[in-house]
Structure 1
Amino acid sequence: DSSQKITGVQFNRGNPKGDGDVSGALDWSKNIYGAAAIGSYDITGGQFNPQLWLAYMSDNAFLYALDAAYSTTIFDGINWSIEGAYLGNSVDNKLKDRLGVANGNFFALRGTVEVNG
């Protein structure tokens, strides 16, 4: 059994005045676009759950994240899971020059074993 979902969003000028609880480094007069693809699949007796998230803000940055998790029962009452995540951004060159910032990346890996008595 599997399920898949794809969605997209677009926001016009998220905060053109730049007031409120937002970063003053970004140009909030620009549009924000987003998309996500989320799945859930039964693979080799376990559950595989991938997610892909994308966001783009014109003249600011492109943000992306990939998360994948797999869990299964390896013996009676023993469950095993592993999850990996990658997040990154690509900052617009004008913003890089003006603020002295760079692109960023983040990786994470987590595994668990649960024993049910």
Structure 2
Amino acid sequence: KKYNVLYLLHGVGGNHNEWLTGSGEADGNYVICNILDNLIANGDINPVIVVFPNGRSSHDWTDQSFNSEGTNMLGFYYFDYELRYDLVPFIESTYNTYANIEDTSA
């Protein structure tokens, strides 16, 4: 069976746990998991692989190792590169996913 993949990216200053811990818990389960489970159970969406990548370019926003201005814009570039050329290909080669461009949402 093939699966769609949903990459949930956090906001600036967050990390890969934000969609889980930021949503709180209900009945011992994370709210985002309950939402997805209910959507699947109701037939609104097909079962899906959900990936929560960590897009933090640095642990410290004042870290100037990427550039002298301390904006870490180069760090965001590196995240984009890793997402497209490392993480997505890894997920597609490890799991049975719809990996063709025709299968993806624009």
Structure with bigger RCO (C-alpha 8 Å, 6+ apart) = 2
More helix by share: 2
Q: Would you call these one fold, judging by a TM-score over 0.5? A: no
TM-score (norm 1): 0.28
TM-score (norm 2): 0.30
